Amino acid sequence: MAKVKAIVLAGGKGTRMKSELPKVLHKIYDKCIIDYVCDACKEAKIKDTYVIVGHKHEMVEEHLKNKKNIKCILQKDQLGTGHAAMQAKDYIEDDDYVFVINGDQPLISSQTIKSLISFCKQGNYGGAVLSAIIDHPGSLGRIIRDSFGNLNRIVERKDCNEEEERVNEINIGVYCFKGKLLKDSFGKLDDNNAQNEYYITDIPYHIKDMGYNFGVYAIADISEYQGINSREELSIATATLLDKTRKQHMNNGVTLIDPSSTYISLNVKIGKDTIIYPGTHIQGDTVIGENCIIGPNSHIISSKIGNNVVVETSKITESTIMDNCKIGPFAHIRPKSNINENVKVGSFAETKNVNIGENTKIPHLIYTGDADIGKNVEIACGCITANMNTKWEKNRTVIKDGAFVGCNSALLAPVTIGENSIVGAGSTITEDVPDNSLAIAREKQITKKDYLKK
Hey, which residues are catalytic here? 364
> Is position 9 an interface residue for ligand UD1 (rule: CB under 6 A)?
yes
For residues 209 and 221, give the distance between their C-alpha atoms in angstroms, rounded to a whole number: 31
For residues 64 and 53, give the distance between their C-alpha atoms in angstroms, rounded to a whole number: 11
Which residues in 393-452 contact ligand UD1 (CB under 6 A)? none
CB 416 within 8 A of CB 437: no
Identity of the residue, 23 or 304, whose beta carbon is nearer to ligand UD1 in the bound complex? 23
Q: Which of 5, 57, 83, 332 binds ligand UD1 (CB under 6 A)?
A: 83
CB 186 within 8 A of CB 82: yes
CB 23 within 8 A of CB 33: yes
> Is position 11 an interface residue for ligand UD1 (rule: CB under 6 A)?
yes
For residues 133 and 140, give the distance between their C-alpha atoms in angstroms, rounded to a whole number: 11
Determine the number of helices (DSSP H) and then strands (DSSP E) in the chain: 8, 37
**φ, ψ for residue 51 (rounded to 5)?**
-100, 120
Q: Which of 96, 104, 312, 370 binds Ca ion (CB under 5 A)?
A: 104
Angle at CA 192, nearest 5°, toward 186 and 198? 35
Identity of the residue, 33 or 300, whose beta carbon is nearer to ligand UD1 in the bound complex? 33
Strands (E), 104-213: 127-133, 142-145, 151-155, 169-178
User: Any residues with CB less than 8 A from the CB of 1 and at least 6 apart, and which?
Assistant: none
> Is position 380 an interface residue for ligand UD1 (rule: CB under 6 A)?
no
Q: Which does 52 bind (CB under 5 to 8 A by kind): Ca ion, ligand UD1, none?
A: ligand UD1
Which residues in 210-249 contact ligand UD1 (CB under 6 A)? 227, 229
Q: Which stretch binds ligand UD1 (CB under 6 A): 39-47, 96-104, 216-224, 276-284?
A: 96-104
Q: Which does 12 bind (CB under 5 to 8 A by kind): ligand UD1, Ca ion, none?
A: ligand UD1
Identity of the residue, 23 or 326, whose beta carbon is nearer to Ca ion in the bound complex? 23
Q: Which does 170 bind (CB under 5 to 8 A by kind): ligand UD1, Ca ion, none?
A: ligand UD1
Identity of the residue, 127 or 173, whose beta carbon is nearer to ligand UD1 in the bound complex? 173
Which residues in 274-303 contact Ca ion (CB under 5 A)? none
Q: Which of 156, 350, 370, 419 binds ligand UD1 (CB under 6 A)?
A: 156
Residue 91 CB, nearest approach to ligand UD1 (Å): 16
With helix as H, strand as E and coil as C, how does 397-414 read?
A: EEECCCCEECCCCEEECC
Identity of the residue, 138 or 434, whose beta carbon is nearer to ligand UD1 in the bound complex? 138
Cα 16 to the center of its chain, rounded Å: 24
> Is position 12 an interface residue for ligand UD1 (rule: CB under 6 A)?
yes
User: What residue type is 303 in one-letter code?
Assistant: S
Task: For residue 434, give the 3-state DSSP assignment.
Answer: coil
For residues 280 and 262, give the distance between their C-alpha atoms in angstroms, rounded to a whole number: 5
Residue 104 CB, nearest approach to Ca ion (Å): 5
Q: Which does 9 bind (CB under 5 to 8 A by kind): ligand UD1, Ca ion, none?
A: ligand UD1
Identity of the residue, 127 or 141, whose beta carbon is nearer to Ca ion in the bound complex? 141
Start-end of H helices in 14-56: 33-43
> Is position 103 an interface residue for ligand UD1 (rule: CB under 6 A)?
yes
CB 84 within 8 A of CB 75: yes
Host H or E run for residue 419: none
CB 259 within 8 A of CB 277: no
Q: DSSP class of residue 323? A: T
For residues 74 and 25, give the distance between their C-alpha atoms in angstroms, rounded to a whole number: 16
Binding residues for ligand UD1, rule CB under 6 A, total 29
Which residues in 220-259 contact Ca ion (CB under 5 A)? 227, 229
Residue 134 CB, nearest approach to Ca ion (Å): 15
Binding residues for Ca ion, rule CB under 5 A, total 3
> Is position 201 an interface residue for ligand UD1 (rule: CB under 6 A)?
yes
Q: Which does 304 bind (CB under 5 to 8 A by kind): ligand UD1, Ca ion, none?
A: none
> Is position 340 an interface residue for ligand UD1 (rule: CB under 6 A)?
no
Identity of the residue, 171 or 298, whose beta carbon is nearer to ligand UD1 in the bound complex? 171
Task: For residue 209, give the 3-state DSSP assignment.
Answer: helix
Closest residue to ligand UD1 using C-beta atoms: 141
Angle at CA 327, nearest 5°, toward 324 and 332? 145
Identity of the residue, 141 or 402, whose beta carbon is nearer to ligand UD1 in the bound complex? 141
Residues within the interface to ligand UD1 (CB under 6 A): 9-12, 52, 54, 75, 78-81, 83-84, 102-104, 140-141, 154, 156, 170-173, 199-201, 227, 229
Which residues of this chain interact with Ca ion, rule CB under 5 A? 104, 227, 229
